[in-house]
Amino acid sequence: MAVKVNEYYSLIQNNYLFVEIARRVDEYQKENPDANLIKMGIGDVTRPLAKSVVEAFKRAVDELGDADTFRGYGPEQGYDFLIEDVIENDYKPLGVELKNSEVFISDGAKCDTGNFQELFSKDNIIAVTDPVYPVYVDSNVMAGRSGKMGEDGFYENIVYLPATSENDFVPSLPSEKVDIIYLCYPNNPTGTTLTKEQLKEWVDYAHKNDALILFDAAYESFIKTPGIPHSIFEIEGAKDVAVEFRSYSKVAGFTGTRCAYCVVPEEVYVKDANGNKVQLNPLWNRRQSTKFNGVSYPVQRAAQAIYTPEGKKEIQENLDYYVKNAQVIRESLEKMGLKVYGGVDSPYIWFKTPNIDSWSFFDILLKEAHVVSTPGAGFGPSGEGYLRLTAFNTYENTVEAMDRISKLEF
């Protein structure tokens, strides 16, 4: 076979973090078929789809089964009915005006954040906060932007901005010039947030350094604390320097249903090799129209249902359910004397392990408490010594898991 492989794949870790965790968990479950494992690792939801969502979903399927209302290919960018509801409900109340052409419906924020880097040349310098959602790093490694990983776990060409208890999980601005910065707030994995003033510093940095911020707001619906920004576009001037990603996965239980969107303001310009300005929005449009055929009509109708008065009420009940779980987790860990972060405006609880490295503590929880967690080190070198639990299991399982963990001796 003369086909040459994309060599950059050899620079990446063997398995995607959550695949590696699933592999270890499956292996343990096979050896211990009676172990009743409680999964608080990957942020997958347990509440069923809201009633209004299911009804809208079914109605749309019926439309497809009728010759008079059947639809084939939809717009690659998403149907206007959903885009208009996004603008009206998710952005207008924040004082953010958007055009329909700036919102792109997709099948997930993981896909959007992973794919977006395709629009940029290979020599851009990427910055990530550390620990970080692995998709941002892995997708740039695959594209050849990272260089090799050193012994210390850092890729040589990626700028890492540590966010740890030492800096109260507020990463410093890069000390060198970077081109593209990935930010996720409320943060995955630490569950921490930034204030408007803190986020403004990043927007100012981007203006001063001609940089672009790729802002992942997948967890914004968990924000309860007043004043915490739900969107980067709440910050003045952000529309010139930022793209935002959102998802229905956690807000409306769409992890299996798949629907999300990405906002690419018309004001964002990048540069070509000759230094000429190039508008980003048409590039993403071109990418999506070529490689994506849109989200299915019933799924977009299902997503739209969360913006009805009934839908809003129902999804809020689910969010409150998870918030209560987060509180149970936080309080239990604190009672055990552990240092706990996040879990207030976020479904993720991040805590310091009791002087055990994160993969070993992951193993202890798995083997001795039958609880699946996510080791902090899996999110990057600065995650070492931390562990993440999610609030997405059922209330009963969450209470049971915390009870089991509290009985461990460590």
Binding site for ligand MLT (CB under 6 A): 42-43, 110, 133, 188, 249
| Alpha carbon 101 to chain centroid, angstroms | 23
- Least CB distance to ligand MLT at residue 42 (A): 4
Q: Which two tokens stand for residue 28?
A: 């343990």
* Residue 22 or 338 with smaller CB distance to ligand MLT: 22
Residue 131: name the closest of 387, 339, 382 by CA: 382
- Least CB distance to ligand MLT at residue 376 (A): 12
Q: Which two tokens stand for residue 162?
A: 């540590």
* Residue 52 or 325 with smaller CB distance to ligand MLT: 325
CB atoms within 10 A of CB 296: 18
* Residue 56 or 184 with smaller CB distance to ligand MLT: 184
- Bridge partners (DSSP) of residue 155 are 149
* Residue 235 or 387 with smaller CB distance to ligand MLT: 387
In sequence order, what are the residues at sequence separation of 6 or more whose Cβ sits closer than 8 angstroms to the Cβ of residue 11? 141, 146, 147, 148, 149, 155
CA pair distance 180, 330, nearest whole angstrom: 34
- Least CB distance to ligand MLT at residue 361 (A): 17
- Least CB distance to ligand MLT at residue 133 (A): 6
CA pair distance 165, 338, nearest whole angstrom: 13
Contact status, residue 203 vs residue 232, Cβ threshold 8 Å: yes
* Residue 110 or 230 with smaller CB distance to ligand MLT: 110
* Residue 265 or 383 with smaller CB distance to ligand MLT: 383
* Residue 268 or 299 with smaller CB distance to ligand MLT: 299
Please give the residue whose beta carbon sits closest to ligand MLT in the complex.
Answer: 43
- Least CB distance to ligand MLT at residue 188 (A): 5
CB atoms within 10 A of CB 17: 20
- Least CB distance to ligand MLT at residue 113 (A): 9
- Least CB distance to ligand MLT at residue 102 (A): 23
CA pair distance 391, 410, nearest whole angstrom: 23
CA pair distance 260, 249, nearest whole angstrom: 7
DSSP string, 227-284: T--SSGGGSTTGGGTEEEEEESHHHHS-TTT--EEEE--TT-EEE-TTS-EEEHHHHH
- Least CB distance to ligand MLT at residue 135 (A): 7
Residue with the two structure tokens 């998403």: 78
* Residue 179 or 345 with smaller CB distance to ligand MLT: 345
Contact status, residue 280 vs residue 243, Cβ threshold 8 Å: yes
CA pair distance 221, 113, nearest whole angstrom: 18
